[in-house]
Amino acid sequence: MAFPYNDTVLKHFRDPQNVGIIENADGKATEGSPACGDMVSVYINVDSETKKITDVKFESYGCASNIATGSIITELAKGKTLEQAKSITWKEASDALGGLPPIKAHCSVLAVEGLRSAIHNYEEKHGLTTNKEATTEEVVRRRLKRVMNPMKGLDMVATDLVKEIEVKDGVVRVVVDLPEDHQFSGTIREEAKERLENLWDVKKVIIEFVK
Amino acid sequence: MTDKAIYMDNAAATRLDEKVFEAMKPCYFDNYAVATSEFGYSQGLEAREILTEARAKISAFLGAEPDEFIFTSGDTESSNLALKGIAKTLGAKKDSHMIISGIEDFPVLQSAKALEKQGVKVDYLDVDEYGFVNMGRLKELMTDQTILVSVQHGNQEIGTIQDIEAIGALCKEKGVLFHTDATHTFTRVPLDVRKIHADLITVSAHTIHGPKGIGGLYIRKGTPVGKITDGGYQEFNLRAGIENIPGAVGFARAVELVSDEENMRLKSMRDKIIELVSQKIPHVTLNGHPEKRIPQNANITFHYVEGESITLQLDMYGIAVSTGSACFSRSLESSHVIAAIGGDHERAHGSIRFTLGRYNTMEEISYVADKLAKVIADLRKISPLGKTGGM
């Protein structure tokens, strides 16, 4: 049977680990929203001395890849220090699952971000974060690294889809190296917008496509 | 994997009926000649007769004359020919205009988009919460420049049946050509061109237990359809290419095999699945209209969970259904139909389409409802939404 998912993914999808809520969690975050598609909530408890993650749970409103990644990433994060957990990449999570179909990368990257955001939330609460940085071309580029290119399973920066970035007076303009009527232009526009719109000093995001 | 295989995606494809296969067989092994001109050899003349007979059966079913029906490779080609063929003959004027509903299936939708690039102006008609097109708006949009209105008969996803009698009458009154895509209604919902004014009707065999790769287009006499495939003079010089005679024979047989009793049976199974789901599972929404829907379609949103997760879980129980979720689609875009009926992304995300056919049974309906209740409950346990009964 030509299932798009391997047995490890299916196992984590059918019987996901670490599902649930931690009441009064030390750190928590939700990534995505019902409006845009998938959504993941991640909760962590942290040992204040060692800065190790002692407990981690997640909830998912998402597809199979999203649920399986939530399961594996919480397994990977457990017992790690915040610094170690922060640096777990989508690639590592995907590898631990024995690989995910490229087109599903965007659904699963959300779980990775959920974990990072929960850690960030903990750090903010405990005064461990640095000050707000102004949005620059570089910040935009970094954010766009979270937008997956569904054709490749790698992000849109790594796959050279970002043709141009302009940041001016709170308006971010990104030119994507795809024609407007491309199969994936709609989803890439939505995801790129989503990644940029909540930056604190950004008023407007314009995503353009090449002719 | 389970040994049960329950197929409820009959809008996508259907199991071939053995009787259809039996009817087709001689066209592969006994007389496999092409239909020749009237000056051809015997086998060719016989093939021609077989094709003519198949054509006559299907056109009669539509209440049409035999020379008002041409065979195509399926609904996609039929709708392409309807829209592009009309644009070819009437669209020369730069400001020529078409109106299509916003919930058309891809053949009509993408044909219209392709024509837009060539300068045809296209208006996309809005629909209400059930998917019924806005008749008042249709009237307003029609101008002297309007060359074609295309509104489907029954919707591919939510099953809503349009009042094409009224739309046809309006088009006739205004002197505008009317095309309807009847892929999901043909033989399931009455459609007779002597009662309903339509100039062009798309039909297909793959949704009614006929073979894949054969469909047809009804073309009312005198409708100026231009030829869009170049080649031979087949199909009244409107569709070049060797005739799919086995397909045509299979299509005609498939049409004969659908009965009113079967349509009633499909309807009662459809109503049963809606009833059982509403009883067993909280937080569900029926998409489309409760009564004015094709007999074989139920489309339900299960809130707080995602469609691909549902279909994959159901697949483990051997159940095949489809979803309007973005995660399931080739373009990663969620259903344009659910969006058009005012549903948010979330409603499309958790929508499941059940489409029934000849080989489904009431036992299967109960089995599916039971498994669904379990799958939805399990997925909701994982979901961050809906825990307090609301979003």
Residue A36's pLDDT is what? 59
pLDDT in tens, B360-389: 999 999 999 999 999 999 999 999 887 643
Overall fold of domain A7-125: Sufe protein. Chain: A (3.90.1010)
Alpha carbon separation from A10 to A106, A109, B50 (Å, rounded) = 18, 17, 51
The closest of A110, A205, A106, A113 to A165, measured between CA atoms, is A205
Per-residue pLDDT of B4-14, as tens digits, reads 799 999 999 99
Q: Does A61 contact B304 at a Cβ distance shorter than 8 Å?
A: yes
Left, alpha or beta for A19 (phi > 0: left; psi -120 to 50: alpha)?
Answer: beta
Question: Could you read off the pLDDT of A155-178 as tens digits, one per residue?
Answer: 788 888 999 999 999 999 999 999
ipTM attached to this prediction? 0.80
Judged by CB atoms closer than 8 Å, whether chains meet at A61 and B305 is answered as yes
User: How many contacts (CB atoms, under 8 Å) link A and B?
Assistant: 78
Catalytic annotation, residues of B: 327
User: What domains are there in chain B, each with its CATH number?
Assistant: 6-14+259-382 (3.90.1150.10), 18-257 (3.40.640.10)
* pTM metric for this prediction: 0.86
Judge: B391–A34 Cβ closer than 8 Å, yes or no: yes
Min Cα distance A169 → chain B (Å) is: 31
Average pLDDT over residues B112-138: 96
- The pLDDT of B190-212, averaged and rounded, is 97
pLDDT at position B331: 66
Instruction: Give the closest of B305, B308, B384 to A30, CB-based.
Output: B384
Residues spanned by CATH 3.30.300.130 within chain A? 137-210
Q: Which residue among B113, B312, B331 sits closest to A64, beta carbon to beta carbon?
A: B312
CATH superfamily to which A137-210 belongs: Fe-S cluster assembly (FSCA) (3.30.300.130)
Predicted local confidence at residue B286, as pLDDT: 97
A107 counts as catalytic: yes
> Which chain B positions have a beta carbon within 8 Å of A64's beta carbon?
308-309, 312
Mutate one of A3, A58, A61 to test the B interface: name it (highest B CB count within 10 A): A61
- Listing DSSP states for A37-55 in one string gives S-EEEEEEEE-TTT-BEEE
Q: From the list B316, B325, B345, which residue is nearest A35 (CB)?
A: B345
Start and end residues for every CATH 3.90.1010.10 domain found in chain A: 7-125
Distance of CA B28 to the CA centre of its chain: 28
Q: Is A207 buried (19+), middle (13-18) or exposed (0-12) by CB count in 10 A?
A: middle
Q: Write out the two tokens for A58.
A: 């997640």
Per-residue pLDDT of chain A (211 residues; tens, 9 = 90+): 567 889 999 999 999 999 999 999 999 988 876 665 788 999 999 999 999 999 999 999 988 989 999 999 999 999 999 999 999 988 899 999 999 888 777 778 889 989 999 998 898 888 777 667 788 888 898 888 878 777 776 778 888 899 999 999 999 999 999 998 888 888 888 888 877 887 778 899 999 999 8
Beta strands in A47-91 (DSSP E): 53-61
Judged by a CB distance cut-off of 8 A, whether residue A14 touches chain B is yes
> Are A63 and B327 within 8 A, CB to CB?
yes
